[in-house]
Amino acid sequence: MAPDINTLQTSAPAGVVKKNEEKPNIIYIMADQLAAPQLKMYNPESQIKTPNLDRLAASSVQFDSAYCPSPLCAPSRMSMITGLLPMKIGAYDNASQISSEIPTYAHYLRSKGYHTALAGKMHFVGDQLHGYEQRLTSDIYPGDFGWAVNWDEPGTRLEWYHNASSILQAGPCGRSNQLDYDEEVMYRSVQYLWDHVREGPEKRPFALTVSLTHPHDPYTITKKYWNRYQDVDIALPKVRIPKEELDSHSKRLMKVCDLWDQGFSDEQIKRAKRAYYGSVSYVDDCIGKLLETLEDAGLAENTIVIFSGDHGDMLGERGLWYKMSYFESSVRVPLLINYPKWFQPHRVSQNVSTLDLLPTICDLIGTKPAPCLPMDGQSMMPHLQNKEGHDTVFAEYTGEGTVRPMMMIKRGPWKYITCPADEPQLYNLEKDPHELNNLARFVKSPSQSPEDGTAKALFDKFEAEAKARWDFDAITAQVLQSQRSRRVVWDALKEGTFTSWDFDPVDDGRMKYIRSTIPLDALERRARFPPVDSKGYESKANVTPSFVMATLGLDDDEHKSVEHTVARLAQLSSSIQSLKMDILKSNPLPHPSSLQASAQILQRNLQSVLESLNDNSDLFTRMAIRPSTNYPGRAQENILTQLLRKKLEPDLEELVLEGRETARLATPEGIAQLQAIWDALRKWTQGRIAEYVRDEAGDVYTKEERENGVENVRTGLKRALHEESDDDEEEEEEERGGEGDNSDEEDGEKDGKRANTGPEPETLLWFAARGDFEVPRNVEYERRVGVKKGLEGVNIPPEGMGRATSS
């Protein structure tokens, strides 16, 4: 059940963002077309079953009067992410592109160190990221100009508009387009949360948006949810008005949505509502799943949960369906902000808007929107802290169904709606929650009662305010120009080869699950959360920075030095990776001079890693030899592993094997430089580990650990080094191999020896640096032979000819 407003505390203590406090994660869950007045948490009479949402609401700050900035998908969302009203950013309709130069909440989060990820729908047109660092899925709606509105032909109904089929065809389904989508959104989101906790100590806090497309029409849902309402006599719409008596915008909406001549039966309406209810229960289960994952992954304590939507659904009220209207069921959205650590649960009755989210999020993470830039949103922090907050919202609409700009002001209980094409409307929602008594009728008839007199005075004020705020002619001209421009561009883009602007998320199956190049034990251990040791005990190896510090006895500065070195390694790793990708992906190849420049950057990054290590050599030595009482050697190993896990090598073999054609075009200098850089780094790593095992950590492993025979880098190394010192011949061979003389025959011979004596240190280090603990010897050998063969077929051109020839 939703919390009862009367039983809740009214004096929640203020939540404050303390300095040096660990930044909370943020998960923002959105539903599409979820009408707030239809939900149990807002309406005790609601028949919709939402146990998870009700539970969340009970521990949240619940906003009872939250509005969207525009009752249509894309304009609402664009305003929400930027904190700016639609007309200010050109968010006119569902095919409007907003400029990539406008900061969004994702930019502010990212600037403050958050990993910003989006799973699901945002309905961006053009730029598909707008500050999000990662999108986990594609969008469900087109990212192009295909859905533009045309005010030059207001009478033409466009094919992609909503129509009556959603209601006529309502009922259960096995699967639908929207289920395909939301199931993917949920899978990726849950996976993202698990990936986050397995990431290791240096991870950034996350700001994940999970944006579901349900309960948006078409009204259909699986039997599981359809049947949840088996015994419910679905209530018919509360407000039923003969269509001829509707206001002019509502009449137009009915025609635009092809509902005017329909006359649905009660049974049809009940079926549509039942499917909608089922879809809301589906969303509710998704919320439950996300909350459960946060709990299981140990994230619940430190994650702010925000829940809202983009607009509502009329769901048959007044004979209207879908949105595009300023009536409550269409324009009011649910809004919860949940972080009991800072904000005691309570309810907020003041008017707020989802465009207030940006400044609110800024406050939550200890920053402010840039003061020199425009901002329509106002922080809801006072509301969260149960202090006096703002109580006015504005909304703007220029999408389907209207023919001129249509605007709304909601202040206290008063809702004022104005549009040059329609009669104005004014409602007092406190006295008239169903919006039946349009007080703006004074425009046509003189006022009758003292109460009407008050309303008239208010109405005149709203009229003046609207006139001062909006230049309707200028806005109309802007909207028309945008629509016309987009038509010219879109008509042209549809000719010839179509290049999609839709987002295509990266998903490389070759890097997931069980692969021959990844030792199984290591993989299973890394994938399991929480991590366990070889006997299945939960390992404290899943370290947070403070755990590392405590275990190793590091002070703040020392910890910073470790972080600094790790960051340098990451930088080196990423510059190697990006050069590799340049070579693999570009056609023609980057110019040799550009390769050379990249190689110089690599060299500098390497230098910076080595410097950082040298500067802190005492610290790293201490880290390596300090035993932990329970598991001697374990903490040290973790640190080394963390350092070495970074994928450092440019993987030249892969480059040659998988990109032969491209590799052929690489300059010998480019390859040689990459090789030299990796060789230098590998040499250092090799030296460091050898030194560690031989001189510093020789006695730190317990007898038990040795007897368990853990096949990982440390025991493998110990064994290999031990054997090496007994075997001068192999040591010599090692040296020869290092000089680059490396024939097939020799490789084979070497491999034969390794089969008897265990992996050679160099190979172990190679894999250690890749993040692998064990060496699948056969695979490695096959790979080497394969690469050698691959290289033989590669005809590297002489200097100055590093460009593509036609083939």
Question: Would you say 32 or 182 has its CB closer to Ca ion?
Answer: 32
What Å distances lie between residue 199 and 132, 203, 507, 544, CA to CA?
A: 19, 6, 18, 10
Q: At closest approach, how far in Å is the CB of 162 from Ca ion?
A: 11
Question: Would you say 34 or 348 has its CB closer to Ca ion?
Answer: 34
Please pick, among 68, 73, 257, 286, the residue that the annotation labels catalytic: 73
Please pick, among 68, 107, 115, 123, the residue that the annotation labels catalytic: 123
Phi-psi region of 588 (alpha: psi -120 to 50; beta: other; left: phi over 0): beta
| Residue 601 CA from chain centroid, whole number | 31
Question: Would you say 28 or 416 has its CB closer to Ca ion?
Answer: 28
Helix (H, G, I), strand (E, B) or coil at 306: strand
Question: Would you say 310 or 328 has its CB closer to Ca ion?
Answer: 310
- Cis peptide bond prior to 545, omega within 30° of 0: no
Q: At closest approach, how far in Å is the CB of 94 from Ca ion?
A: 9
Residue 667 and residue 595 in contact, taking contact as beta carbons nearer than 8 Å: yes
Question: Would you say 28 or 108 has its CB closer to Ca ion?
Answer: 28
CB-based contacts of 219, cutoff 8 Å, min separation 6: 166, 167, 170, 171, 271, 272, 273, 275, 276, 279
Question: Would you say 143 or 201 has its CB closer to Ca ion?
Answer: 143
H/E stretch holding 393 reads strand 392-397
Contact window for Ca ion (CB under 5 A) among 269-277, 302-310, 335-343, 384-392: 302-310
Residue with smallest beta-carbon separation from Ca ion = 73
Examine residue 73 and tell whether it contacts Ca ion (CB under 5 A).
yes
Structure token digits, residue 288: 């439950």
CB-based contacts of 513, cutoff 8 Å, min separation 6: none
Q: At closest approach, how far in Å is the CB of 68 from Ca ion?
A: 9
Q: Which of residues 305-324 bind Ca ion (CB under 5 A)?
A: 310
Question: Would you say 96 or 575 has its CB closer to Ca ion?
Answer: 96
CA-nearest of 667, 618, 644 to 795 is 667
What Å distances lie between residue 475 and 123, 217, 405, 487, 659, CA to CA?
A: 23, 31, 7, 18, 53
Question: Would you say 73 or 644 has its CB closer to Ca ion?
Answer: 73
What is the rounded CA–CA span in Å between residue 42 and residue 347? 10
Question: Would you say 143 or 389 has its CB closer to Ca ion?
Answer: 143
Binding mask 28-67 for Ca ion (x = CB under 5 A): ----x-----------------------------------
CA dihedral 571, 577, 583, 587 (to 10 degrees): -100
Question: Would you say 310 or 363 has its CB closer to Ca ion?
Answer: 310
Q: At closest approach, how far in Å is the CB of 123 from Ca ion?
A: 7
User: 414-418 and 425-428: which strand pairing?
Assistant: antiparallel
Helix (H, G, I), strand (E, B) or coil at 41: coil
Q: At closest approach, how far in Å is the CB of 72 from Ca ion?
A: 7
Q: At closest approach, how far in Å is the CB of 561 from Ca ion?
A: 49
Binding mask 348-387 for Ca ion (x = CB under 5 A): ----------------------------------------
Q: At closest approach, how far in Å is the CB of 33 from Ca ion?
A: 5
Residue 120 and residue 32 in contact, taking contact as beta carbons nearer than 8 Å: no
Residue 356 and residue 69 in contact, taking contact as beta carbons nearer than 8 Å: no
Question: Would you say 123 or 270 has its CB closer to Ca ion?
Answer: 123
Q: Where are the beta strands (DSSP E) in 282-338?
A: 303-309, 332-338
Q: Is 73 a catalytic residue?
A: yes
Bridge-partner residues for 353, per DSSP? 67
Structure token digits, residue 771: 């993040």
What is the rounded CA–CA span in Å between residue 385 and residue 697? 54
Contact window for Ca ion (CB under 5 A) among 27-35, 40-48, 191-199, 360-368: 27-35
How many residues sit close enough to Ca ion to count as binding (CB under 5 A)? 3
Bridge-partner residues for 415, per DSSP? 410, 427
What is the rounded CA–CA span in Å between residue 746 and residue 82? 63
What Å distances lie between residue 121 and 125, 138, 211, 306, 590, CA to CA?
A: 12, 8, 5, 16, 36
Contact window for Ca ion (CB under 5 A) among 24-32, 189-197, 435-443, 571-579: 24-32
Q: Which of residues 433-452 bind Ca ion (CB under 5 A)?
A: none
Cβ neighbours of 632 (radius 10 Å) = 17
Q: At closest approach, how far in Å is the CB of 334 from Ca ion?
A: 14
Residue 551 and residue 543 in contact, taking contact as beta carbons nearer than 8 Å: yes
Q: At closest approach, how far in Å is the CB of 75 from Ca ion?
A: 10
Question: Would you say 33 or 638 has its CB closer to Ca ion?
Answer: 33
Q: At closest approach, how far in Å is the CB of 31 from Ca ion?
A: 9
Cα-Cα end-to-end distance for the chain: 69
Helix (H, G, I), strand (E, B) or coil at 135: strand
Dump the DSSP string for 540-576.
TTS--HHHHHHHHT--HHHHHHHHHHHHHHHHHHHHH
What is the rounded CA–CA span in Å between residue 60 and residue 339? 7
Helices (H) and strands (E) in the chain, counts: 29, 14
Cβ neighbours of 151 (radius 10 Å) = 16
* Backbone torsions φ then ψ of 117, nearest 5 degrees: -130, 145
Contact window for Ca ion (CB under 5 A) among 36-44, 70-78, 172-180, 770-778: 70-78
Q: At closest approach, how far in Å is the CB of 486 from Ca ion?
A: 20
Q: At closest approach, how far in Å is the CB of 309 from Ca ion?
A: 8
Please give the residue ranges that form the binding site for Ca ion (CB under 5 A): 32, 73, 310
Catalytic residues: 73, 123
